[in-house]
Structure 1
Amino acid sequence: MKNLFIYLLAFVSCLSVVYAQKKNVVYQELPVYGKLFDTPSKYHRVDTAKYKDLPARVKYLYTNSAGLFVTFRSNSSSIHAKWCVTDTKVSFNLTSIAQKGLDVYIKNVDGKWQYAGSKGTVITCDESILTDNLDQTEKEFLIYLPLYDETKSLEIGIEEGATFQPLSNPFQKNIAVYGSSIVQGASAGRPGMAYTAILSRRTGLNFINLGVSGSAKMEQEVAHMLAAGTPDVFILDCVPNSSPEIVSERTQYFVAYLRANHPNTPIIMIPSVVRELSYFNQVWNKRNTEQNVQFKKEYEALVAKGIKHLYYLDSNTLLGTDHEGTTDGTHPNDLGFMRMADQIQPFVLEIMHKHNLL
C-alpha cells in the first residue's frame, strides 16, 4: 500500500511538471510562405478547387506542404510546435522528419541560415520541443513544413514572456520549380534539404517547390496553372516522370504556352538526373538516356522555332560522379541534393543577371 501511494505521488508530480511546462508555453499561428499563389487552404501549395481540371493525383500532391515555411524572431530559450498531418504511413524511402516533420534553421552571426534542429512524427497530431537550451539573445527562425504530407495545422510555441515577432518572407523574387518527386524532396533527410530549400538559403531567392511525386508529366492543365502565376523564372525539372514519348508529345506545347503568357520570363529546362540504377539496369539505362536525349531535342526545336529566353542545363553529373548521391538509386540523398544545388545555382544566377533580375 505504501509503495502504491509513492507511485501515485510520483505520477501526480510528473503530471504537474508537464502541466506547468505546457502552461508556460504560448502558441501562435504564423503566415506561411513558399507559395506561387495565395491559397484558401493555408497549407496547400495550389488552390486545387480553382484549378479543378488538374489531374487528380497532381491536385492531391499540391495539398502536400513541400517547400512551405514560417519565419519569426524571438529570444525564447526553447521553440515548441503543435502540428497535425494526415494518417498516411511513412514511405520506405523517406524519414518521418522529411515526410511529416518540421525542420528548424536559425540565422547565425554571419547572416547565414544554419540548421538548428528538427522533429519527425508518426502520429496525426504531435507536440514537441523543436530546439532548446538556447541563449536568450533575439534570433531569426525559419521552420520548414513537411515535404510529403498535408499539414492540417501548425502552431509555434515560445516561453511565456519571451519576445515574438512574425517576419516577412526573407527570400526575394519568385522562381517556380515544376518537377517530380525529386523536386518535391525525395529522399532528403529533412525538409530543409530539398534542393529548392537549399538554393533559397544560399541565394536569398525564393525557389518555389512545385514538385509532384511521380506525376510531373507536363499536362496542358498544369501549363495553364503555372502560366497563371507571375514568377521571375520558370524551371522545368519534370523529365524523370515523363516517358520519352510524353517528352516528345508535350514539351513544345508546355513551353510555348508559358512563353505566350510570359514573353520575357526566362524558362530553364533541366534534364533528368542520371539514375544510379541505370548504370547496371539496362531497362532504366535505355529509358533514362532516351528521356534526356528527347528533352534536349525538344529544346533545340523550340529554339529553332524562335522561342526566346529559353535555357537548357546540359549536365549528366547532377548527382556527382562517385555514385553515392542517392537513397534508393533514383532519389537524391542530402549529398545528392547538395550536388544538384551546386550545379543549378550558378546556372540560374547567370541567367537572372543576364535578364537584369538581380
Structure 2
Amino acid sequence: MKGLQKITLLGQLTTCLLVLSFHAVMAQTPSSYKYKRAEELTMIGKAFANKQFYHRIDTADYPDLPTPVKSLLTHSAGLAIAFKTNSTAIAAKWQTSARKPSANMTAIAFEGLDLYIKKDGKWQFAGVGKPTNDTTEAVVVQHMDSGEKECLLYLPLYDEVTNVSIGIDETGSIVALPDPFKKKIALYGSSIVQGASASRPGLAYPARLSRETGLNFINLGVSGNAKMEKATADMLAMIDADAFVLDCIPNSSPQEIEERTAYLIRTIRAHHPEAPIVMIQTLIREHGYFDQVVGNKTRDQNSMITQQIESLQKEINNLYFIKGDDLLGTDHEGTTDGTHPNDLGFDRMLQVIKPFLTTHLPIAGQIR
C-alpha cells in the first residue's frame, strides 16, 4: 500500500508540474515584448490626411459641423493600423477616453482592438484586444510561426483613442504595411455604419466591404446624427473620393429627407461630376412590426427618400438606389435590439450591398 501511495503522490506531483509548466508557457505578459508606436506604421481608413492621427476627421477644419457630429468623428470607427511582422506574438497598449460601453455593444467592439492577418491571400480574424481600463495592455495573439505576416489592427468603434503601440517579440521586426486597399469610397451614415452592433470592430460593414472587395471604404458613421445637414454635406463633398455611399436615412426624419436630400446629392455632384453616388433606404426596424409608431415612421422615411431619389435621377447621372426591404433577411433574427444589426444582420446586409456596389462601381473592376 505504501508503494502504491508513493506512486499516486508521484503522479499527482507530475501532473501539478505539467499544469504549472503549461500555465507558465501560456502566461506570456505584454511586458515581455518591445513596442512600436502606431504613428510609425500605416493608418488606414482616413478621409483626409489630418493632423489628429486617431480622429477620422480633424473637426477644427470644419467648425460649422453640428457639435454631436464633431464629437462622433473623434471616434476611431473604421481606422486600422497596417503593418508587417515576423513576430510569433502580437501585443498592444492602447488608451481610450473614460466612456463606458453602451448596452447594445460588446466592450471589444466599443473600445477594444480586432486583429486580422492575411492567410492564403485573404484577411482572416486572428485575435482581439480586450479592454480592461481606459489604458489597457494585452496580448492579442501568440504562439504563431516566425514567418512574415501582413496585419490589420482595427481600432475601437465607439470611443476616442489617444495612443496605440504594437508589441512584438524582442528579436522580431515590425514595419509599416502600405495601405492594402485601393481607391476611396466615402460611406456616410448612422450608427449602423459606425458599427452598432457588431461584436468586433472588424465586423462593422464598411470594414468587411474593404476586406472583401479590396476597395477602401471610409467609415463616416455618426451614430444617431446622420441627418444630412448643410455643413456635413459640404464636408463630405470635399473628400477626394471615387464614389459616395449614403446610408443616412435611419437618422433622418421624413421632413429632413424632403428638405435636405437634394442639397446633399447636388453638392457632392458639383464637386465630383462623375463619381457614383449610392443612396440606401433605411433597413426595416424589427420592433416596427409591433410598434406602430416606429413602423409608420420607417415607411414614411423610405417613401420620402424613394420620391427624392427618383426625382433627382432625372437630372443627376450615376445616382443609384438600394432599397431596404431585404437588408436583414426575413426571419427577424438579424438585430441586437430591433434596430441595430447583429453580426448575422450585417452579413445579410453585405449580401445585398456588396454585389450591388461591385456591379455599379466601375472602380471595383479596376483593382482586380
Task: Measure, in 1, the Cα distance between the counterparts of 2:256 and 2:100.
Answer: 31
SS in 2 for 1:229: coil
Query: Is 1:283 aligned with 2:298?
Result: no
| Residues 1:36 and 2:57 aligned together | no
TM-score by length of 2: 0.89
Contact 1:174-1:207 at 8 Å conserved across structures: yes
Q: Distance in 1 between matches of 2:130 and 2:364?
A: 41
The answer to whether the 8 A contact 1:106-1:116 is kept is yes
- The alignment partner of 1:214 has SS state of coil
Q: SS of the residue aligned with 1:49?
A: helix
How far apart are 1:120 and its partner, in Å? 2.5
- 1:322 counterpart residue number: 331
1:353 aligns with 2:362: yes
* C-alpha distance in structure 2 between counterparts of 1:339 and 1:132, whole Å: 32
Pick aligned residue for 1:334 from 336, 339, 343: 343
Residue in structure 1 matched with residue 110 of structure 2 by the alignment: 99
- Which of these residues, 180, 200, 203, is aligned with residue 193 of structure 1? 203
The CA distance in 2 between the partners of 1:55 and 1:223, in whole Å, is 12
Structure 2 residue aligned with 1:71, among 69, 82, 105? 82
2:180 & 2:350 partners in 1: Cα distance?
Answer: 19
Give the equivalent residue in structure 1 for 2:5.
Answer: none
Alignment partner, residue 313 of structure 1: 322
> Which segment drifts farther, 58-67 or 118-127?
118-127
Which residue does 2:270 correspond to in 1? 260
Q: Residues 197 and 207 of structure 1 are in contact (CA less than 8 Å); yes or no, is this contact kept in structure 2? A: yes
Q: CA deviation at 1:27?
A: 3.2
Partner of residue 159, structure 2: 149
Stretch of structure 1 that moved more, 174-183 or 341-350: 341-350
SS at match of 1:311: strand
For residues 76 and 302 of structure 1, do their structure 2 counterparts lie closer, same or farther at Cα, with a shift above 3 Å needed? same
Q: Distance in 2 between matches of 1:225 and 1:256?
A: 13
Letter in 1 for 2:35: V
Q: For structure 1, which runs of at least 5 residues remain unmatched after alignment?
A: 1-17
Counterparts of 1:235 and 1:223 in 2: how far apart (Å)?
13
Which string of whole-angstrom CA distances, capped at 9 and with x for unpartnered residues, describes residues 186-223 of structure 1?
Answer: 00001000000111111111111000000000001001
Contact 1:198 1:338 in 2 (8 A): no
Q: Distance in 1 between matches of 2:183 and 2:84?
A: 22
CA apart distance, 1:241: 0.3
Matched residues, number: 341
1:168 Cα offset (Å): 0.8
Q: Structure 1 24/356 Cα, relative in aligned 2: closer, same or farther at 3 Å?
A: closer
Greater mean deviation of Cα atoms: 159-168 or 346-355 = 346-355
Deviation at 1:21, TM superposition (A): 6.2
The letter for the 1-side match of 2:357 is V
- Work out whether residues 247 and 291 of structure 1, in 8 Å CA contact, stay in contact via their aligned partners in 2: yes
The CA distance in 2 between the partners of 1:77 and 1:277, in whole Å, is 47
RMSD: 1.9
Which runs of no fewer than 5 residues in structure 2 stay unpaired? Answer: 1-26
In structure 2, what is the equivalent of residue 119 of structure 1? 129
In structure 2, what residue type is equivalent to 1:228?
Answer: M
Per-residue CA deviation, residues 52-84 of structure 1 (Å, 9 max, x unaligned), is 100000000000000000111111111000000
Whichever of the two has the greater Rg, that structure is: 2
> Structure 1 residues 71 and 339 mapped into 2: Cα distance closer, same or farther (>3 Å)?
same
Q: Share of identical aligned residues, percent? A: 50
